[in-house]
Amino acid sequence: MTEKQVMEYLEQAGAYGIVPGLDGIGRLCERLGNPQKELRFVHIVGTNGKGSVSAYLSSVLECAGYRVGRYTSPAVFEYREKIQAAGRMISRRALCQGMERIKAACGEIVSEGLPHPTVFEMETALGFLYFQEKKCDIVVMEAGMGGLTDATNIVQNTVAAVFVSISMDHMKFLGDTPEEIAVQKAGVIKPGCAVISGFQTPGVQSVLRERARELSCPFTAADPGKLGKIRYGLESQRFDYGERKGLEIPLGGKYQIDNGVLAVEALDALADRGFPVTEEQLRRGLSQTRWPGRFTVIHKRPLFLIDGAHNADGAKRLAESITFYFTNRKIVYIMGILKDKEYRRIIDLTQEYADHIITVAAPGNPRAMPAYELAAEAAKVHPDVTAADSLEEAVEMSLLLAGTDGVILAFGSLSYLGRLTEIVNRVCGKAAKGHDRRKKDQRGGSPDAGGNR
């Protein structure tokens, strides 16, 4: 298969939808030789923050010399970034060869009258194959939308189960309250593994703690009382946690402090499980973490940020960062949300901080809410809303509205932020070159500038 054929095959397989349960992934992995059985995992579960915590952990463990596999979703800039080993995306060759094996296995499954595996099941199996091939010491793996019935939960060799903030999302599949959702998420806990939880509501924390007790798992919860001397910033932040002073992270957003604390607690737990890191490796790994798309600055005049706030909890955290960082600034939103998300709630939580809202639809995503429908919803509560026909139009419109001193914030589905970033880099790059040429002309750098020379 070529890379193009792989992407076409995955697009066709999208018709099989979302099927919770481990039967499909179990059949597929069995035909591939159960590669996941030769690997050890840090399983990251929860609603918001999985990718950031995964990035912190992977960076520190790589600094310590471990060969780290990393499985994350969704992709922001390139499909292959979902599967990484030793800090590098899966190669095109490995992607194509692995998917050929998976396609053949799927054909065998279907020939027996059984359901075709879903896209997420195929991607998860591909990750297992690649991590096995690369002989990864440990795999830092994000769950998909769930826990107990998530395809990633086929793994048994879980060293640590790490729980980021758990809140309302995917209620159709997971439950109607945070506690019900927590029960599903807690399904990834395996007997005897370390369990580490971030800052949670008391009800959610109780669910996680009780499940850990039932399976004889040591339980650690991030302690807000140990957190102090926070120095916030858009591109660098520092904090103390317990006896560790001046820990630095390069990711912006108030919520990243919580994610950094959880990563530190998880690393301490991993040290007790055979994966020690030195204090210098921990600090260097945290400070070198890269994770684009999470309150990330992509241009500075005007200030242009992208953020993957795609549910109510993410929108609440985004609103907190907006009010903290951007007091008395003109703010323009570019908003693109999937139609199966709580779009009304996201709008309600964020609309009051925007001077103007531009809505878009994520290109090529069948789950994307049409820009005009999203605009109609936003217009119910905000006076200045415009639907853009394309991402290019949205970027150009936002730059005009914001001027040089305003703030542009694109958020919602991660699926369009990579493409939008490319457009911003192209449009703003051209503008910068034009500005430089004009300055040169004004200084007399051109024969036509300033009359005869």
> Looking at the structure, do residues 72 and 148 belong to the same domain, yes or no?
yes
Share of the chain above pLDDT 70, in %: 93
pTM for this model (two decimals): 0.86
CATH number, domain of 302, equals 3.90.190.20
Asked if the structure places residue 450 within a domain, the reply is no
> Looking at the structure, do residues 256 and 360 belong to the same domain, yes or no?
no
Instruction: Give the sheet arrangement for strand 244-249, strand by strand.
Output: 227-231, 237-241, 244-249
CATH number, domain of 206, equals 3.40.1190.10
Asked if the structure places residue 446 within a domain, the reply is no
Amino acid, res. 360: V
Q: Reply yes or no on whether the pLDDT at 217 is more than 70.
A: yes
Q: What is the rounded average pLDDT of the residues 425-435?
A: 68
CB-side neighbour CA atoms (13 Å) of 33: 11
Q: How many residues does the chain have?
A: 453
Q: How confident is the model at residue 191 (pLDDT cuts 50, 70, 90)?
A: very high
Give the least confident one: 142-156, 158-172, 243-257, 373-387.
Answer: 158-172
> Exposed/middle/buried for 54, CB within 10 Å: 0-12, 13-18, 19+?
buried
Asked if the structure places residue 444 within a domain, the reply is no
Dihedral sign for Cα atoms in the order 228, 231, 237, 243: negative
Q: What is the rounded average pLDDT of the residues 55-67?
A: 98
Q: Give the chain's mean pLDDT.
A: 90
pLDDT digits (tens, 9 = 90+) for 294-341: 889 999 989 999 998 888 888 988 999 999 999 889 999 999 998 888
CB-side neighbour CA atoms (13 Å) of 79: 15
Report d(CA 282, CA 99) in Å as an integer: 35
Per the structure, the complete domain to which residue 15 belongs is given by 3-287
> Looking at the structure, do residues 236 and 309 belong to the same domain, yes or no?
no
Closest to 44 measured CA to CA, from 72, 25, 64, 69: 72
> Looking at the structure, do residues 202 and 319 belong to the same domain, yes or no?
no
The helix or strand, by DSSP H or E, that contains position 141, with its residue range, turns out to be strand 138-142
> Looking at the structure, do residues 260 and 336 belong to the same domain, yes or no?
no
According to DSSP, the residues that pair with 84 across neighbouring strands are: 70, 89
Per-residue model confidence (pLDDT) at position 16: 84
The helix or strand, by DSSP H or E, that contains position 88, with its residue range, turns out to be strand 88-89
DSSP 218-232: -EEE--GGGEEEEE-
Q: How confident is the model at residue 365 (pLDDT cuts 50, 70, 90)?
A: confident
* DSSP designation for 192: T
Per-residue model confidence (pLDDT) at position 167: 77
Q: How confident is the model at residue 450 (pLDDT cuts 50, 70, 90)?
A: very low
* Tokens, residue 163: 């729980």
The domain boundary, picked from 287, 311, 330, lies at 287
CB atoms within 10 A of CB 40: 20
H helix intervals, 32-91: 50-63
Q: Reply yes or no on whether the pLDDT at 170 is more than 60.
A: no
Q: Reply yes or no on whether the pLDDT at 206 is more than 50.
A: yes
> Looking at the structure, do residues 171 and 301 belong to the same domain, yes or no?
no
Give how many domains the chain has, as a whole number.
Answer: 2
> Looking at the structure, do residues 306 and 272 belong to the same domain, yes or no?
no
The domain boundary, picked from 257, 287, 317, lies at 287
Question: How far does CA 356 lie from the centroid of its chain?
Answer: 26
Q: What is the rounded average pLDDT of the residues 171-185?
A: 74
Q: What is the rounded average pLDDT of the residues 130-155?
A: 94
